[in-house]
Amino acid sequence: MSTVKSALAQKSGPLIHVRSGDMIVEALHRMRDNRVRSVLVIDDDVLVGIVTQGDCAIKVLLPGLDAKQTPVSEVMTGKPVTVKPDDPLEGCMAMMARRGFRHLPVLDAGKVVGVISIGDVVKNIIRDLEHNVDDLMGYIMKDSPGG
Mean pLDDT, range 21-32, rounded to an integer: 97
* pTM for the whole structure: 0.82
Residue 81, pLDDT above cutoff 70? yes
**Residue 144, C-beta contacts closer than 8 angstroms, at least 6 positions apart:** none
Query: What was the pLDDT predicted at 144?
Result: 59
CA-closest candidate to residue 81, choices 96, 71, 97: 96
**Residue-wise pLDDT tens digits, 97-116:** 999 989 999 999 999 999 99
The fold of 4-143 is: CBS-domain (3.10.580)
What's the alpha-carbon Rg for the chain, to the nearest Å? 19
Q: What is the mean pLDDT of the chain?
A: 89
Query: Would you list the DSSP string of 50-104?
Result: EEEHHHHIIIIITTT--TTTSBGGGTSEES---B-TTSBHHHHHHHHHHHT-SEE
Under the banding of pLDDT at 50, 70 and 90, the label for residue 124 is: confident
Per-domain residue ranges for the chain? 4-143
